[in-house]
Amino acid sequence: MGNDEMSEVMEPPTLPGSPGAEPAASPPDPESPAAPPRRRTRWWRRLRVTAWCLTVLLVVTVCAAGLTATRTVRASFPTVAGELAVPGLQGRVTVARDAAGIPQIYADNAHDLFLAQGFVHAQDRFWEMDVRRHITSGRLAELFGESQVETDSLIRTMGWRRVAERELALLEPSTRAHLDAYAAGVNAYLADHRGADLSVEYPLLSLGGLSYTPEPWSPADSVSWLKALAWNLNATLSDQVRHSLLAVTLSDAQVDSLFPEYDFARWRPIVTDSASSQGTVPAAAAPGGRATAGTAVTPAAAGGGLAATSASPLGLASDALDGVDRVLGPRGSGIGSNSWVVSGSRTVSGKPLLANDPHLSPSMPGVWYQVGLHCTAVTASCPYDVSGFGFSGMPGVIVGHNADIGWGVTNLAPADTDLFVEKLDGASSYRHRDRTLPLETRKEVIRVAGGDSRTITVRSTHHGPLISDAFPKAKAIATDGRAPGVDRAGGGEYAVAMRWSALDAGRTMDAVFRLDAAKDWASFRAGAALFSSPAQNLVYADRRGHIGYQAPGRIPVRAKGDGRWPVPGWTGEYDWKGFVPFDRLPRSFDPASGYIVTANNAAVGPSYPYPLTRNWGDGYRSERIAELIEKSGKLDAAAMQRIQLDTYNGNAATLTPLLLAVTPGKDARAAQDLLRGWDFGQGADSAPAAYFNAVWSNLLRLTFHDELAGNRAQLHVDGGGLWYEIVRRLAARPDDPWWSNSRDPRGLRTRDDVLRAAMDDAAEELSGRLGDDPRAWRWGALHTLTLRNETIGTGGPAPVQWLLNHEPLEVGGGSATVDATGWDASQGYEVNWVPSMRMVIDFADFDASRWINLTGASGHAFHAHYDDQTDLWREGGTLAWPSGRAAVATATKDRLTLHPEGAGTDG
């Protein structure tokens, strides 16, 4: 309604005959259509007034709702400049943030340093922290309801939180003090923040009917996240399940072909005899001051006895293991990481360079948190001057450098888990070495949002918890899965217990602080010796020019078996005898090659005396990295970054000649031509990469899905590096039964039949999705990355997902490429794991180092630093990484001073 219309309606009525009135009109002719009834005119005017008022009301309501939503979203944005009083501080702390919001924290003592870290983590990421502790304590159902009961049951059965609480008692007093200080910092922030002030997810939970107030933070909340990290890197459990259940319906030869052994003739291990024997470790470089050669394979008797996911815990999982994986992201041998270090002999500066990019499940925010932790004066009581990547909810830095050394990590993936098939003797006991032993039991109560609480009974043998009570696939192993030495012909009841080294209380938290303060190879190894789980490959370099490698962790020594199959528990012959002594774990120091590469390839050769695992990852990435190092001449930080971004597909190099040797249908021949002269790079704009990967996906479907469909093992034909190797070996046998597909109407019988059909199907698929011109196809149009909030951002309403998630990104790379943007060929082409961060440490000048995170420093939707690193990450760029005091001061954009209560301000 316009202003003129409004004035007409709102003017006071003018009576006939009054001054200014129009002449009185004659009564209208009822038959005349030009004379509308006066009552209709009044009604129409009133309707217009009402409509206008409703419009105004709607606009006001929308504006008010928008303002309320804006205030709600922005309520949790932290104070990053000025001064704040924080209870528990002993002195003043400076938090200097750069243009990316990355904090560098300066304190006069270790207590204040870690208290401030807890406060800053809570400022930026408390929702993430809160969800993480609900995961590790098996309490997701308290937040997200019925769909998480199975997930909680499995985690409670394993007892992650209980193990973390036991670990606290083992930690050094200084470590416990740091954890206490960190918790005090988190709780100081919680004391003044509730609901929307903490994070926008809390009012969203309230809209769903949940009344929830976070409880105080505790040290066990921090330590328990180590169990989630170990779980996310555990491939042995899944491999044992798959071996056992696949063997029920497949032949032994077929099962073996799905788990190819590491090809040492093609792929070098991390540590070779020649590499480890070069460069004697000086006396000062050996723990305890002993002179120790840098050997990796000295036989000795067994002794002694480190994301978030794109999937949501709101989603209903079909299996408890699937539920945990939906929370923490995909696991297994297909997921890996890259790290490598080169000595000064191979660099422009004459000093080492170190690169690392761990591959984890993508999430919003990303799993890592960048931070610098600096004692204003480095002393014995405050020895920290460290910068790098850590986890919200956990004090310290996990990967990075201090003033003297730097380090990176990849997953060692040892066989640190065994599934023991236990012979039960009634409901409360089991058999072991001709004895009847009582089952240990405990009750666990799972509270459920919007539903009734559940009580579960957790049963355990001396091997560990009976996970078959909470994990259906383990129960299937107990009933009829195949395992060496298990014969059910005699009847009886069986269950499956899990022995996992991560369920033994350890001192990994001690290792974090020891590494953060290490000064040289000796103190670095002393810290690594405390790193119990997850077992990792650690690469090392220092400012004096040394480089090194150390594998830490608790890796079992078995009386019998190699960790590939579930084993009988009642005989005792497969029991663990202890763990591989730390001094016998693989290591290398200053190898003659001048570089060390770890990319989940084998750590050692086949002559190594301890069976660390039989299921190493593939060597496609490690060999490509080594090739690029060797042919790149003298390296600088930019050259290291270029290696990180390499998209060469070794699988394409193997299969493309075979694809070009057959003739597909006429509709696929223009697409086939894309592969001629292709360099096997997989940039986002690559048409050949789009077609090849579509062919690869269809090849896997045509070859394996018919035999594996319905198998209870649910072997994931994800198409990663393991499948590269399976198909490479299979390609040498053109008439192998695996190629036969009785379900396809084209009568596929041989390798070449499948190759032709895969090319035809891929061309048809991409024509439908990307258009009829193959030259216009782009890999990035298929290979997209959507960063999702790990909880509500996936399961919430569409407006909430829009608020919390990042729009899809087109990316290059792929599975088993150095730029490892993994995808699951059984699900589509979308990215399901990524280089979760990238870093390059320059030991000639630490302030010349580079880093990038997947998302940003903040966990608050719409904050400037929620996703401000994402586009740069996608483009392969990095940020400057200042760590020295002068460089940090130059980069500082916001400065916050935290001071004790009552201490006042600087004015």
Q: Apex CA 732: angle with CA 726 and CA 733, to 5°?
A: 95
Whether pTM exceeds 0.85:
yes
Of the pLDDT bands very low, low, confident and very high (cuts 50, 70, 90), residue 713 is low
Q: CB within 8 A of 631, min separation 6: which ones?
A: none
What is the reported pLDDT for 52? 56
CA distances from 425 to 210, 418, 478, 503 (A): 44, 21, 14, 25
Count the alpha carbons within 13 Å of 239 in the hemisphere toward its beta carbon.
28
Asked if 859 contacts 131 with a C-beta cutoff of 8 angstroms, the reply is: no
- Cβ-defined contacts of 456-462 (< 8 Å, 24+): 456/153, 456/156, 456/157, 458/156, 458/157, 458/159, 459/495, 460/497, 461/420, 461/422, 461/430, 461/432, 461/437, 461/497, 461/569, 462/432, 462/437
CA distances from 454 to 213, 246, 325, 896 (A): 21, 33, 22, 46
> What distance in Å separates the CA atoms of residue 838 and residue 861, rounded to the nearest whole number?
23
pLDDT at 450 over 60: yes
Of the pLDDT bands very low, low, confident and very high (cuts 50, 70, 90), residue 71 is low
pLDDT higher for 234 or 318?
234
3-state SS class at 595: strand
What is the reported pLDDT for 333? 46
Average pLDDT, the chain: 86
874 backbone dihedrals φ, ψ, rounded to 5°:
-65, -35
Give residue for tokens 């001048």. 594
Of the pLDDT bands very low, low, confident and very high (cuts 50, 70, 90), residue 708 is confident
pLDDT in tens, 483-500: 888 888 778 899 999 999
The strand pairing partners of 540, in sequence order, are 407, 548
Buried b (16+ CB within 10 A) or exposed e, 862-871: ebebbbbbbe
Of the pLDDT bands very low, low, confident and very high (cuts 50, 70, 90), residue 326 is low
Asked if 800 contacts 807 with a C-beta cutoff of 8 angstroms, the reply is: no
What is the reported pLDDT for 483? 87
Q: What percent of the chain has pLDDT over 70?
A: 83
Q: What value does the mean pLDDT take over residues 450-467? A: 96
Q: What value does the mean pLDDT take over residues 828-832? A: 95
Looking only at the bridges linking them, the beta strands covering 337-342 and 894-899 are: unpaired
What is the reported pLDDT for 74? 77
Of the pLDDT bands very low, low, confident and very high (cuts 50, 70, 90), residue 878 is very high
> What distance in Å separates the CA atoms of residue 402 and residue 894, rounded to the nearest whole number?
23
Q: What value does the mean pLDDT take over residues 93-117? A: 98
Closest to 378 (Cα-Cα) out of 367, 386, 390: 386
pLDDT at 329 over 90: no
What is the reported pLDDT for 546? 98
Task: Lowest mean pLDDT of 106-115, 290-299, 457-466, 864-873, name the range.
Answer: 290-299
pLDDT in tens, 732-755: 999 999 999 989 999 999 999 999
The strand pairing partners of 840, in sequence order, are 355, 850
pLDDT at 307 over 60: no
pLDDT in tens, 352-386: 999 999 999 999 999 999 999 999 999 999 999 99
What is the reported pLDDT for 842? 98
> What distance in Å separates the CA atoms of residue 540 and residue 426, rounded to the nearest whole number?
53
pLDDT at 21 over 50: no
pLDDT at 303 over 80: no
pLDDT in tens, 406-448: 999 999 999 999 999 999 999 899 999 999 999 999 999 999 9
Of the pLDDT bands very low, low, confident and very high (cuts 50, 70, 90), residue 793 is low
pLDDT in tens, 186-238: 999 999 999 999 999 899 888 767 778 999 999 999 999 999 999 988 888 88
